[in-house]
Amino acid sequence: MAELARFWKPLKGKELLCFLCYRMCKIKDGEKGYCHVRKNVDGKLYALNYGKAVAVEIDPIEKKPFYHFMPGTKAFSFATVGCNFRCSFCQNFSISQAFGGIVGEDLAPERIRELCNAQNIPGVAYTYTEPTIFMEYALDTAKLTMQDGRYNVFVTNGYMTTVAINEMDKYIDASRIDLKGFHDEVYKKLCGDVVLEYVLSSIKELHKRQHIEIINLVIPGHNDDEDDLRATSKWVKELSPDIPMHFIGFYPANRMMTTPSTSLELLKKARKIAIDEGLNYVYTGNRQDEETESTYCPKCKAKVIRRFGFAVVENKLDKDGKCPVCGFRLNVIMDLEKYRKRKRFKEP
């Protein structure tokens, strides 16, 4: 179900430039880009993975994790094969870094819309692998499902270009972005020669346009030192103290099977550092702990959303996200229609 791709331009001869992500691949006729799913065919770029879903689930939005966007709802979640990173620690490497060809079931955007309507699923999440590399498929799906009042969210590594982000802004309501560390070494050695500066740039651009949440996968011996955790927290705080920050536990996977798992104690340490640096909403993840998975009012410190694992056990906020104790309005999106109006007119 290959589809003519967007985000490219011709170069000399039949060579072309793909500017969907910051790999900025120059692709010769008959060759594929770094992601292995975009191919130059006779001087035109095609998305080979369009409409081919390799993983499909209905997940709690908290699993992404989004804690401040439509909490307690379910999202139709899917992915295609491929990725523009080569993370040594990838949990989904069997589909993100499987380069034997395009596999998956035919699942057109129209069919996804039908399934969401039939099962009354409130939103759609583009997740599991990297949604940037199936951007055309994602945007066409989002364009349809948003017409029915459904939300659309990206779970992304944040390496898409500003041109792509501008197009996303029309259809994608929110993004959860990986910030894998705050020095180039982690990105270059563990992610496939990725440039941290471009990730930070994309996070800034997404933040201008929509609700974002950031995760940091804490990997023992690689990005878990206090200086790195503090630098990450400072940068996020300078962007906005109201951005939800998630410190996620690592499990041995892919090419890092001998690296130890992250302890809950280390995640709590990272959380404390971030709070000390001035972030208002900081969480741990991949380790069940109600205290550090729950949301607290920044003003009066009341526990307003109680979580355990991916489950919202209790939500005391009203539809405007106001604390029932002191009336403070938290940065939690509860009403999609109101959020879209604020977003459209760039209101705070």
Verify that 305 and 268 share a domain, yes or no: yes
Verify that 277 and 168 share a domain, yes or no: yes
Q: What's the pLDDT tens digit per position in 223-256?
A: 999 999 999 999 999 999 999 999 999 999 999 9
CB atoms within 10 A of CB 205: 19
Verify that 124 and 184 share a domain, yes or no: yes
C-alpha distances in Å from residue 166, one per residue of 155, 175, 207, 323: 17, 13, 12, 33
Verify that 69 and 34 share a domain, yes or no: no
Q: What's the pLDDT tens digit per position in 291-327?
A: 999 999 999 999 999 999 999 999 999 999 999 999 9
Verify that 39 and 56 share a domain, yes or no: no
Verify that 33 and 179 share a domain, yes or no: no
Verify that 39 and 61 share a domain, yes or no: no
280: left (phi over 0), alpha (psi -120 to 50) or beta: alpha
**Domain hosting residue 70, numbered range:** 52-344
pLDDT score for 348: 43
pTM: 0.97
The sheet that has 303-308: what strands, in order across it?
295-296, 303-308, 311-315
Verify that 94 and 12 share a domain, yes or no: no
Per the structure, the count of domains in the chain is: 2
Verify that 207 and 261 share a domain, yes or no: yes
Under a CB-based contact definition with an 8 Å cutoff, are residues 170 and 210 in contact?
Answer: no
Verify that 56 and 32 share a domain, yes or no: no
Verify that 75 and 15 share a domain, yes or no: no
Verify that 323 and 179 share a domain, yes or no: yes
